[in-house]
Amino acid sequence: METPLLGLAALGLFGAFAVARVVYADFLSPEARVKRTLARRRRAAIARAPDGVVRVTGRVRAGGDLLLAPVTQRPCVAYHLVIEGDEHGGWGSVLELGDARPFTLVDETGEAFIDVAQSAFLLALVADKSGWTRSGADADAPSQAVRALLGSADVVADGMFEGPRRFCYHEAALREGRRVAVGGQGTREVTPDGARASAREPPQRYVVRGSAEQPLLISDLRETLDQAGE
């Protein structure tokens, strides 16, 4: 009788772990927070966007120094990478990386400068590149990049007896022309390279920033781009 009971207990623990992962992903993770917050905000056209809390949606126009996505080396304004592996008897994330650079958001009415340089931010991006690591002679460039990233983060990539461990990566890269939703604090600022509403007014540009209390939200997930709440 002990073996079936142990099996049921193990199954119960596995089920509880799986449920906890789903709850975290759907409700508690930073990505869930971004989706939930952006979905509640009405989209504002950039030309008519007010000062204060705002959601603007448009296409990315890159400017200045770009980032390189860590695994694929794609030029981008933001990236998010999750590497998963067998850790402590379960499968889960062993390394997560994300970064962003300032960019311009363009819609049908105007432009907004998305200022991440001095802002805390949260990303919820489509992971459009995924794969498994290979080892030995079959190791490709993504596999080598993943193993190098794990090594720099002091994550053990080789088992003591079983040899090289396998990992799965999911990489999102926000690139030029991609449609994206941004939420934050919007304001119009006087700047020499801005646009004039009339000949009598100084040149201005619309800037969206975040703060430690209300981070800048950046997402290209479909749920944040729809216009159902407009």
Taking the chain (230 residues) in runs of 10, the rounded mean pLDDT of each run is: 48 39 51 88 92 96 93 97 84 93 96 91 96 86 94 83 82 97 93 66 87 91 70
d(CA 35, CA 40): 9
Give the pLDDT of residue 16. 37
Give the pLDDT of residue 23. 38
Q: Tell me the backbone φ, ψ of residue 34, rounded to 5 degrees.
A: -65, -50
C-beta neighbour count of 78 within 10 angstroms: 26
C-beta neighbour count of 165 within 10 angstroms: 18
Give the pLDDT of residue 192. 62
Terminal-residue alpha carbon distance, the chain: 60
Give the pLDDT of residue 6. 47
